[in-house]
Every structure is written in C-alpha cells, then in structure tokens.
Amino acid sequence: MVAYVSQLAFKTVPHFGKISTKNLASYAPNLMLWGGAWASCVAVYTSGWPIFQDTFYKKLPYFGSYWVKEVLPEDKQY
C-alpha cells in the first residue's frame, strides 16, 4: 500500500511575538551576561545609598571596610 502525503503539515512553534523557546535558549547566555552588567550598574548607582550599604556593601570581603564609618562617641554631634 502506498502512503500518499496530500500536503506538507506545518505547525507553528509556540512563540510570544518574536520570542520562542528555542531562540530564548540560544540568547540565554548573553542575557545572563547582560543581567550581570545590569547588576553591576545598579551597584554603581546605589553605592552611596545607606540601606544598600548596610545590606550588601559593608559585607563585601575586601572593600567592605570602606563603607563602615566609625565616629567616636565624643565626636558625635547628636
């Protein structure tokens, strides 16, 4: 018995706009690197922000001491 193919069966890859799982996977390493770049950008712009200093930067291994400002009790103004 000969099996005939009447027409080619096309199926659309599931996608969101131009993003599909396949090209997202191929972009993943690059996107992760961009994530790292973004994180260090945030770090630059929040390095003077006290709550970020207390939560992250004071705990850094080598540079952490830079953000710790010690004022002796007799030099405190208030």
Partner 1 sequence: MLAQRLNGAKLLSNSSRLLGSRCLSSSIVSRNSTYRTPDFGSNVKQDRDADKSRSYAYFMVGSLGLLSSVGAKSTVETFVTSMTASSDILAMAKVEVNLAAIPEGKNVVVKWQGKPVFIRHRTPREIQEANSVDVASLKDPQTDADRVQDPQWLVMLGICTHLGCVPIGESGDFDGWFCPCHGSHYDISGRIRKGPAPLNLEIPKYELDGDKLVVG
Partner 2 sequence: MSFATIYRVFFKRNAVFVGTIFAAGFVFQPLFDSGITSWYEAHNKGKLWKDVKAQLQLVGDEEAADDE
Binding residues (CB under 8 A) for partner 1: these are: 41, 44-45, 47-48, 77-78
Bridge partners (DSSP) of residue 16 are 19
Residue 77 contacts which entry, partner 2, partner 1, none (Cβ below 5-8 A, type-dependent): partner 1
Partner whose binding site includes residue 33, from partner 1, partner 2, none (CB under 5 to 8 Å by kind):
partner 2
User: Which residue, 78, 42, 43, 75, is CA-closest to 60?
Assistant: 43
Residue 62 φ then ψ, to 5°:
-105, -40
Consecutive H or E run containing 16: strand 15-16
Which residues ranging from 5 to 64 are in contact with partner 2 (CB under 8 A)?
30, 33-34, 36-37, 40-41, 43-44, 47, 63
Spatial separation of the C-alpha atoms in residues 36 and 28, rounded to whole Å: 12
Judged by the rule CB under 8 A, the positions of this chain that interact with partner 2 are 30, 33-34, 36-37, 40-41, 43-44, 47, 63, 66-67, 75
